[in-house]
Structure 1
Amino acid sequence: MNDLIPPEDITKWIPGRKTIDSTAQGWRGLTLMGYRYAGLEVEIPPMRDYMIVVYQDADTSMRRRCNGPWQTEKLRPGSISLLTRGEQSTWQWDDAINVRHIYLGHSAISETAAQIFDRDLASIDIADRVCTTDNMIQFCLNMLEQEYSGFGVGECLFIDALRTQLAVHLIRNYADIAIKETHIGTLGSNLRKVVSEYIEESLGDRIHLEDLASIAGLSPFHFSRRFKLEFGVTPHAFVIQRKIKKAKALLLKRDLPLKAIAADCGFSDQSHMNRTFRKVLGITPAEYRRSA
């Protein structure tokens, strides 16, 4: 598809006040935007990504048209609209609305579908929906907002997991496709060792789910499921455990500043390490050092 519009250019077609923009966060295949709009009638161009709109305080009628008659739905807080990629449509609403946009990349859907369902994207149809309710999408939005605000503890690995979770959820619930059953095994002792060693050696860097999955020769979705069977926790939780374990060992060296320990263990800064310690252990690194 040519001339598809990326998320950061949507304001050229839908004028509004931007309230959230995750493009500087470096999330791969996933973007979170927030806007405040007045009542409008707009032509939405063919988008590069699948677009999920979550209405924060809506109480208005939403009308949509795409090569046919208008569809009208009453929107309320928590309502959700889905827009497929690569298709132009007209949307019209009367009242001011406050929204969150979640953009999911084409590769996230196509790769997930190929691995889980043994199909390519040509066999998948995710149609527009003017209004629906979806607790899983709302949950994912809440997690994304926490990460965006700096209150999350998983960074890129957690975002990778959320992206895969959203892709699976959309395909399962909104795509015209039959689900193919798959056998779930474990990683095996050799892969377990290789993956564990990679994580230990990379704690000071950003660890992406795709990087771990490629080591095992699996899709991110299959890797996550097998990893949890093998280790008892998700890859994100395991990495957090290892970061904390390494930090606890370094905290015993009284001459090392907390800032240096945070950097060496892969936390974005000392505050990030403090939040993680408090969330997981109930105490700060400084309190742990004093008690040790």
Structure 2
Amino acid sequence: MRPLRHLNDMEDLWGMRSAGALIDLPSTGISVLRWTRTTGGPFEFNVATSPDFMLFSMVLQPMDACSRVDDAVIWDGPIRGGSVRLIDSRSIEHTGFESPSPFDLLHIHFSLDDLRLAARRFGLDFEDFEPNDGPLYRDDHVGRQLGAQFVAALDADGPAGRMYADGIAQSLVAHLLGNYGRVTSGAAQPAAHEGLQAAFEHVERHPHEALSVARLARLAGMSEFHFARRFKQRYGLTPHAHLVAARLRLAKADLAFSDKNILQIAMDCGFSDSSHLARLFRKAEGVTPQGYRQARQQ
């Protein structure tokens, strides 16, 4: 299954034409798109992610951006040209960014199934990706060189550019397998499941605490990337969604059985303020916290 939407749909989401696209390269299934904006001013992009979607994103020129995953801001500030970021949508539901500056981005889309198939051709047992812990945008010298070659392939005309890009894609697969790949043994699974269960139960017992994915991952004994992926596979929702659901259950109990005001309930249940509680409560329950309280008291 190819993870990339139809090119026209992608361009509609971005509100612009791509500066170049090579879709579904034959040897790897990789698709390469370039998004270029030459003027400043507010720009916002948000998209619902797709299953089995992986994205290797490269910032070709320096820019300022506020990057979001679901409801959380994960980056806000300048990004150096040549920086790369690996995005796995299985642990997130929405991703996007806002930028006041011009930008030049190279997006390389691929699926894990295609990468597993490529690995098997070389006798490798590749299970998944786990980027190294560190900055969201990293300096990857080899990835940057391959990105520059993809740009040259996008600029080339006709079949020659596509053939050139297909060879670069194979080099990128080798780079990703060698530098971002992870192989886990079956013996490690019970310990991993115990760590996931410990994190799950900690959220259930302490939803009011300031719990980040990083903190829960440390509790589970995993990296953030590996924890978020395994958590969603095991429980069917992201760690953030589980935390929000636990906080909403606590808020519903307070609304039904206490005389605390809405702001106090919000603060006691781990929400930043009453507006934050109201927005998430209405999204989940279809009514405001006050409306829920009134219905319960009738």
TM-score, structure 2 length as denominator? 0.47
TM-score of the pair, normalised by structure 1: 0.48
